Amino acid sequence: MNINESVRDWVFHQVSASYPSLAVIDLVTMGETDDLGPPFLAIYESGVEAYAQDGVMLAGVSAYEITCELHTIPVEEAEEGTTPETEREYRRDFYDILGDRTMIDWISNRNGWQVFDIRLPAPTTEASDGRRLSRWTLTITAAPN
């Protein structure tokens, strides 16, 4: 299983357990968004490179960039959209989920991965084709089991 699918499983687990207001948002991985309308969270691998520590390459360990994009439609641009307040709540809740370091232990030994570290900068938000797009890019240091 891809690391992005493991992140999707984590987000789904957290939404189910602690964030019921996010249950209205579809969680998808790369290639699943063709016939989907907002709101949804797309999770995909956007880069990978071999991992080195102190200049020494660690065999089998890579730093994966996993991008998570929240797609919403601003209420001003459509009858059925997402208000700015609701979108801010979604962003805050997803940031809490994606930044939760217990994801390291949760993903490790599931779906064939050993995760060593996860880094998450603040999200960016922009307008894109009538949508509001909020993006987080996680850097996950991991190796397949």
Query: 111-145, pLDDT tens digit by residue?
Result: 788 999 999 998 899 998 888 999 999 999 999 88
pLDDT in tens, 76-96: 655 678 888 899 999 999 999
pTM of the shown model: 0.89
- pLDDT band for position 75 (cuts 50, 70, 90): confident
DSSP at 1: -
pLDDT for 128: 85
C-alpha to C-alpha distance for 69 and 133, rounded to whole angstroms: 6
pLDDT for 34: 66
Query: In the predicted model, is pLDDT for residue 73 greater than 60?
Result: yes
- Which CA distances in Å does 100 have to 51, 88, 96, 97, 128? 22, 18, 6, 5, 28
Please indicate whether residue 12 or residue 79 has the higher confidence score (pLDDT). 12
pLDDT for 105: 93
Query: In the predicted model, is pLDDT for residue 17 greater than 80?
Result: yes
C-alpha to C-alpha distance for 96 and 79, rounded to whole angstroms: 29
